[in-house]
């Protein structure tokens, strides 16, 4: 991480990485979506609506993963004063908010034919909605702090406090057994979904993760270029 503390060194890596993440991410996401829509069988209970899984699960993972990234950037800023940590936090927030919104919307669309309702104040749904609002708060706070010339410490503290919501989202299906189904996919413990339906999911998971990474790198590059312009303008004005 500290090897990337120099913005020039970071940009040397970020420029080619952006293109690769975009290209591979697009290819994998399109492959996974095509396979999920055409090559997998319908579920015996949910029928064709199970296909929403291939966009809903990656968006949930990235909505939560994005805030984990903000929390890591916050620690890096508060503890080590990493010069790119605040930039990284501000770059992750819009991408995380977008995927949290996709998760909420696709979940709601899935819920109507499956549960008979667009929305329920269930533990998982409510905690995910809170995450989306936390993202909006972070975007507003971080940009206000930047405009005032702050170092982003208040946004970093907010990012750390907001991370408390992540275990609540994760364990909500165990703590409040209401509408949302329990955990059906685990990194360590296998899956309760049949492989005939499950196999395109890793493709969309990796594909959308790469696209998320590309969006974050592009936002970081934009922020660094804007900072360069501001510094030059200050020097010219002085």
Partner 1 sequence: MNPWPFVAAAYTVAISLTVGLLAWSYISMRSAEAAADSLRRK
Interaction site with partner 1 (CB under 8 A): 22, 29, 33, 37, 47-49, 51-52, 55-56, 59, 94-95, 98, 101-102, 105-106, 109-110, 112-113, 208, 211, 214-215, 218-219, 221-223, 225-226, 228-229, 232-233
CB 168 within 8 A of CB 131: no
d(CA 125, CA 111): 11
Nearest to partner 1 of 140, 161 (CB atom): 140
Nearest to partner 1 of 196, 233 (CB atom): 233
Among 181, 25, 35, smallest CA distance to 114 is for 181
Nearest to partner 1 of 101, 185 (CB atom): 101
CB 121 within 8 A of CB 135: no
CB 7 within 8 A of CB 223: no
Nearest to partner 1 of 50, 134 (CB atom): 50
Q: How far is the CB of 72 from partner 1 (least distance, A)?
A: 20
How many of the other CB atoms lie within 10 Å of CB of 196? Answer: 10
Nearest to partner 1 of 79, 225 (CB atom): 225
Q: How far is the CB of 220 from partner 1 (least distance, A)?
A: 9
Q: How far is the CB of 177 from partner 1 (least distance, A)?
A: 25
Q: How far is the CB of 2 from partner 1 (least distance, A)?
A: 25
Q: Got the DSSP string for 163-232?
A: TTHHHHHHHHHHHS-SSS----EETTTEESS-HHHHTTHHHHHHHHHHHHHHHHHHHHHHHHHHHHHHHH
Q: How far is the CB of 155 from partner 1 (least distance, A)?
A: 19
């Amino acid at each position: 991480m500290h090897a990337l503390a120099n913005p020039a060194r970071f940009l040397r890596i970020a420029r080619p990485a952006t293109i690769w993440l975009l290209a591979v991410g697009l290819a994998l996401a399109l492959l996974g979506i095509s396979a999920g829509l055409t090559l997998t069988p319908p579920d015996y209970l949910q029928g064709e609506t199970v296909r929403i899984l291939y966009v809903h699960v990656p968006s949930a993972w990235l909505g939560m993963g994005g805030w984990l990234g903000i929390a890591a950037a916050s620690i890096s800023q508060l503890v080590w004063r990493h010069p790119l940590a605040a930039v990284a936090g501000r770059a992750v927030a819009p991408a995380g908010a977008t995927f949290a919104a996709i998760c909420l919307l696709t979940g709601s669309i899935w819920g109507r034919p499956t549960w008979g309702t667009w929305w329920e104040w269930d533990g998982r749904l409510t905690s995910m909605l809170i995450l989306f609002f936390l993202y909006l708060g972070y975007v507003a706070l971080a940009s206000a702090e930047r405009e005032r010339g702050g170092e982003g410490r208040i946004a970093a503290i907010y990012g750390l406090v907001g991370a408390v919501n992540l275990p609540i989202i994760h364990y909500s299906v165990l703590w409040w057994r209401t509408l949302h189904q329990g955990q059906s996919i685990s990194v360590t413990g296998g899956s309760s979904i049949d492989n005939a339906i499950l196999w395109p999911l890793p493709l969309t998971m990796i594909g959308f993760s790469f696209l998320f990474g590309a969006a974050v790198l592009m936002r970081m590059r934009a922020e660094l270029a804007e900072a360069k312009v501001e510094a030059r303008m200050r020097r010219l004005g002085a």
